Structure 1
Amino acid sequence: MSSAALRATMVVDKAFKIAEVDRRIYGSFIEHLGRAVYGGIYEPSHPAADKLGFRNDVKELVKQLNVPIIRYPGGNFVSGYNWEDGVGPVEARPKRLELAWRTVEPNEVGTNEFAGWAKEVGSEVMMAVNLGTRGVDAARNLLEYCNHPGGSYWSDLRRSHGYDEPHKIKTWCLGNEMDGPWQIGQKTPQEYGRLAYETAKAMRLVDPDIELVSCGSSSSSMPSFPEWESVTLDHTYEVADYISLHQYYGNRDNDSANFLARSMDMDHFIRTVIATCDYVKAKKRSKKTMYLSFDEWNVWYHSNDVDAQIEPWGVAPPQLEDVYNFEDALLVGSMLITFLRHADRVKMACMAQLVNVIAPIMTENGGRSWKQTIFYPYMHTSVFGRGVSLQPVVHSPVYDAKDYTDVPYLDSAVVYNEADETLTIFAVNRHLEEALELDCDIRGFEGYRLIEHLVLEHEDLKAVNTADREEVKPHSGGNAACDGGYVKARLAKASWNVIRLGKPSN
């Protein structure tokens, strides 16, 4: 097939609204795992450390991503975590054996330090409570410690620790991956549903204004999916606001065409969870709609074999440090596009994780920090994907892969920001050998002109970024043009594209 013959069309109109994009779909995740905290966001001996020990160079990179919410402190870690270990004078905090990742947790960073750091980088905290080894009492006490203004035991304890004002943490996760046999305190769906319900009930008595996330399946491949969702929501439907989804993808068999189609699996996962939620809604005759929190997602497979060789009981060993390549960035772009296309139900999402551990940001202990390939589609969508998600009418040539059929070469989403009168088209060309000619009808946006066409492309799908060389980075030399209400662009083979349009000010 010649490049001229590969063509896709798109119609975009203001009337084709999916929903307002909740900014929290661009969230991330910091777990006490590997070098995410120690050597990642926090390293008191680093030349760029602030007075509290947090790395300013890392803070600046996080700010570039414009991350609205960060899940903390886990993850598998939280199912064995005693939150009281991480508050009060640092020198008095205990060092604990951390069983989820078999390390030693020094507890130098805890609830107060992380809440302060999150505020500094412009993020809210999504706090997870331990429903593995603990339960109702620890959860309601932590909430009181964080959110109650004063005059009670736990709130006054926070004040004695130097934090007079409450943290006002709004969003709380009721445990983590409680269906997983790897989880400390794994539960059956009935056990989890009952515990989560009672925990939610107590937490809402402490602070009625919080939002709660019920724990969904650890992935769509779990044998109990989606029965887990059906059974647990039977308990938590009226007390929770969201149900969580977790999913990671890899390319171990080096089948790039199949790998780039895996966002179709994510789409199916989301649709199945929505259907299950709506089944429970109908069963309960409820007027409430359950929303989705996709609070763990990413590419993850590069580091698995390396991690198996790490000796246990070290402090912050280099665990899960995937070095991402260019094709990983393309799939990450498609996963973000998938969230935008489900903006009516997916209201939160957290890329797992933020620094060093399967992350867009990498650091050297005592040294440099840099952007991985996946940094860029994440940054582009977070910065430019604010507004209303529109449903484009797309006609694209398709291909068949090993696990998927009728995979569109064009994967796209569109966001209209009425406040600043901008229209942004996010597009991945999945074709590994041919450019894709895009014709887009935007006649409903009269007077709009091209602002820029950002492109992430590389001849080598396996190209990576390092501290010494940023091999994969975007450029603004895309060839999109806008004339007479039509946008035309040539999307390079295997590329991520951001086409931004706006209405010139008079």
Structure 2
Amino acid sequence: MKVNAAIHRAFEIGRIDDRLYAAFIEHMGRAIYSGIYEPGHPQADANGFRRDVAQMVRDLNIPAIRYPGGNFVSAYNWEDGIGPKEDRPVRLDLAWRSKESNQVGINEFAVWAEELGLDMMLAVNLGSRGISDARNFMEYVNHPSGTYWSDLRRSHGVEAPYNVKMWCLGNEMDGPWQIGHKEAKEYGRLADETAKALRQLTPGAEMIVCGSSNDEMPTYPDWERGVLEECYENVDYISLHKYFGNSSRDTLNFFGKVEETGRYIQAIAGVIDFVKAKKRAKNDVYICFDEWNVWYHKRAQDSENWKSWDWPEAPALLEEDYNFEDALFIGCLLNEFIRRSDRVKIACIAQLVNVIAPIRAEADGPAWRQSIYWPYQMASLYGRGTALRVSVDGPTYNCTVADDVDYLDVAATHDEQAGTVSLFIVNRHLDETADLRLALTGFEAATLIDHQVIEGHDLRATNGPGSEPIAPVKGQGVAVEDGTLGGALAPLSYHVVRLKV
């Protein structure tokens, strides 16, 4: 199939916030315990964190991480995770019907995050708790000294405050499954008052209010309107969550769900604009897509298991085995985030290790990179700077969730400081090679730096311990000539093309 495309140096979408490539980790399953933290493991450091997992996280070059939940946070007492470890209580986690040992709390997690250069995005419990506990948590974390909570932190060996700037005001409060579920107006009022209190403690802190748990919720998108009408002037972001699956084994429809995501973002952007106009507000509110990933391989099975098991500690839960098809989908989804980076400023893959994650780790065993690790890494490494508009003229297809879906999915970024343009391209066609001609208007002197490709795998192929066949390799057959990028892109392939400009 022939595809003509074009970018123009002056046709910009907007500046990409580095936090578009953030991550999320929750006290859930084996994400923390035997995921990032496993004292006694051969790869454990002096603090009990796994070096092999840490290196894989470091290689992703992610800027920030959301913690400690998730559904977990809505019944979590943060004070349980501070002080001497031997004195910490074991609690029942109502979200995932398991025991929480509290051996990792805010101070341990902060050590790990600092070691990896990650800014923390902390969530407060607005389910079973409220303003007072959120305020105390921030005081413990951010206040220098001279107060009860700040001096308690110092007594725990942490002299300097963490100065955390990003704060999630609860989690999925629209969901009836959430401990402390609330109606939109009720939650919006609580979020507003909590945000005001927290900003007294940390001026300039960024507040993230809960949007819809997904775009199939019966209250979507009116939930966002109701919440923002109560708290618009005191928040900076509204969160969106969405998980994706292909239980029907319809590959093209699965890929088409990226278009569905674009509609979701566009709808909430419209709600934001409506509320801003209605309130005559001066501030802007952006989108924080702080939970996203493929989740279906073990979802039904594990949903039945965790509802009936007898409160195990760090059980294996939602440990998806991601395949090549999932990697192609994640590449397309990241492209959509780049294309929507004028409205989506923060996005967090959910989760980072073991639980629906790009990294897997066996207890007392090896760690490995799943198929989805690679497009996530490529976008994080090279999808920085400014997003450029891409015009694509080529064959399209219709599916259940969307019409006129381009077989060739393309996103482009311009890093002016580095003097590079990066193109992220997925050929979604099941069996046709794409003959691409992409005009580089304004970048006529561009030269090829690198071409990486993931291709040639069975859609159901996976990576595993000791074997990672799904990974980028050096691409061939792409060249730049007379201001045009051209080449043949195999069916079902993911490409990163980097140009010096």
Q: TM-score range by the shorter chain?
A: over 0.9
Q: Report if aligned partners of 1:458, 1:472 keep a CA contact under 8 Å in 2.
A: no
Normalized against structure 1, the TM-score is what?
0.97
Shift of the alpha carbon at 1:457?
1.1
- In structure 2, the residue matched to 1:123 is 118
Please give the residue correspondences for 1:30-49 in structure 2 after superposition, counting only pairs within 5 Å: 30-49=25-44
* Distance in 2 separating the partners of 1:73 and 1:437: 46
Q: 1:102 aligns with which of 97, 100, 104?
A: 97
Identity %: 52
User: Which amino acid letter does the alignment assign opposite residue 341 of structure 1?
Assistant: R
Shift of the alpha carbon at 1:343?
1.1
Please give the residue correspondences for 1:467-486 in structure 2 after superposition, counting only pairs within 5 Å: 467-486=465-484
* Distance in 2 separating the partners of 1:312 and 1:13: 59
Q: 1:112 aligns with which of 90, 95, 107?
A: 107
User: Which amino acid letter does the alignment assign opposite residue 65 of structure 2?
Assistant: I
- In structure 2, the residue matched to 1:428 is 426
Matched, 1:17 2:15: no
Matched, 1:93 2:93: no
- In structure 2, the residue matched to 1:3 is none
- In structure 2, the residue matched to 1:155 is 150
Q: 2:191 aligns with which of 193, 196, 213?
A: 196
Matched position secondary structure for 1:432: coil
Q: Deviations over 1:254-307 (max 9, x none)?
A: 111100111001000000000000000110111222100000000000111331
* Distance in 1 separating the partners of 2:352 and 2:194: 28
User: Which amino acid letter does the alignment assign opposite residue 361 of structure 1?
Assistant: I
* Distance in 2 separating the partners of 1:25 and 1:449: 27
Q: Deviations over 1:97-121 (max 9, x none)?
A: 0000000000000001111111111
* Distance in 2 separating the partners of 1:156 and 1:396: 63
Shift of the alpha carbon at 1:190?
1.2
Shift of the alpha carbon at 1:14?
1.3
- In structure 2, the residue matched to 1:206 is 201
Shift of the alpha carbon at 1:402?
2.5
- In structure 1, the residue matched to 2:340 is 342
Q: Deviations over 1:81-108 (max 9, x none)?
A: 0000001111110000000000000000
Matched position secondary structure for 2:233: coil
User: Which amino acid letter does the alignment assign opposite residue 6 of structure 2?
Assistant: V
* Distance in 1 separating the partners of 2:4 and 2:87: 63
Structure 1 ranges of 4+ moved more than 6 A: none
* Distance in 2 separating the partners of 1:289 and 1:210: 15
Matched, 1:243 2:241: no
Q: 1:416 aligns with which of 405, 414, 417?
A: 414
Shift of the alpha carbon at 1:395?
1.2
* Distance in 2 separating the partners of 1:172 and 1:335: 25
- In structure 2, the residue matched to 1:319 is 317
Shift of the alpha carbon at 1:224?
0.1
Q: Deviations over 1:360-413 (max 9, x none)?
A: 000010010000000000000000011111111221210111332111101111
User: Which amino acid letter does the alignment assign opposite residue 10 of structure 1?
Assistant: A
Shift of the alpha carbon at 1:15?
0.2
Shift of the alpha carbon at 1:452?
1.4
Please give the residue correspondences for 1:225-304 in structure 2 after superposition, counting only pairs within 5 Å: 225-304=220-299
- In structure 2, the residue matched to 1:375 is 373
Please give the residue correspondences for 1:365-404 in structure 2 after superposition, counting only pairs within 5 Å: 365-404=363-402
Shift of the alpha carbon at 1:465?
0.4
Q: Report if aligned partners of 1:149, 1:165 keep a CA contact under 8 Å in 2.
A: yes
Please give the residue correspondences for 1:137-176 in structure 2 after superposition, counting only pairs within 5 Å: 137-176=132-171
* Distance in 1 separating the partners of 2:119 and 2:310: 33
Matched position secondary structure for 1:19: strand
* Distance in 1 separating the partners of 2:126 and 2:312: 26
- In structure 1, the residue matched to 2:305 is 309
User: Which amino acid letter does the alignment assign opposite residue 434 of structure 2?
Assistant: L
Q: Report if aligned partners of 1:443, 1:484 keep a CA contact under 8 Å in 2.
A: no
Shift of the alpha carbon at 1:45?
1.2
Shift of the alpha carbon at 1:183?
0.4
Shift of the alpha carbon at 1:491?
1.4
* Distance in 1 separating the partners of 2:283 and 2:471: 43
Shift of the alpha carbon at 1:443?
3.7
* Distance in 2 separating the partners of 1:188 and 1:73: 23
Q: CA RMSD in A?
A: 0.9
Q: 196-205 or 440-449, which moves further after superposition?
A: 440-449
Q: Report if aligned partners of 1:326, 1:458 keep a CA contact under 8 Å in 2.
A: no
Q: Report if aligned partners of 1:242, 1:290 keep a CA contact under 8 Å in 2.
A: yes
Q: Report if aligned partners of 1:79, 1:130 keep a CA contact under 8 Å in 2.
A: yes
Shift of the alpha carbon at 1:191?
1.1
Q: Report if aligned partners of 2:260, 2:401 keep a CA contact under 8 Å in 1.
A: no
Matched position secondary structure for 2:234: coil
Matched, 1:356 2:354: yes
User: Which amino acid letter does the alignment assign opposite residue 348 of structure 1?
Assistant: I
Structure 1: 5+ residue stretches without partners: 1-5
Matched position secondary structure for 1:225: coil
Q: Report if aligned partners of 1:22, 1:343 keep a CA contact under 8 Å in 2.
A: yes
Shift of the alpha carbon at 1:446?
3.2
* Distance in 1 separating the partners of 2:374 and 2:446: 25
Matched, 1:491 2:489: yes
- In structure 2, the residue matched to 1:28 is 23
Q: 2:326 aligns with which of 325, 328, 345?
A: 328
User: Which amino acid letter does the alignment assign opposite residue 439 of structure 1?
Assistant: R
Q: Report if aligned partners of 2:68, 2:123 keep a CA contact under 8 Å in 1.
A: yes
User: Which amino acid letter does the alignment assign opposite residue 387 of structure 2?
Assistant: S
Q: 105-114 or 437-446, which moves further after superposition?
A: 437-446
* Distance in 2 separating the partners of 1:403 and 1:342: 19
* Distance in 1 separating the partners of 2:441 and 2:300: 52
* Distance in 2 separating the partners of 1:249 and 1:267: 13
Structure 2: 5+ residue stretches without partners: none
* Distance in 1 separating the partners of 2:152 and 2:410: 50
* Distance in 1 separating the partners of 2:310 and 2:233: 42
The number of aligned residues is 498
Q: Report if aligned partners of 2:9, 2:441 keep a CA contact under 8 Å in 1.
A: no
Shift of the alpha carbon at 1:10?
1.3
Matched position secondary structure for 2:112: helix
User: Which amino acid letter does the alignment assign opposite residue 376 of structure 2?
Assistant: Y
Matched, 1:70 2:55: no
* Distance in 1 separating the partners of 2:347 and 2:257: 17
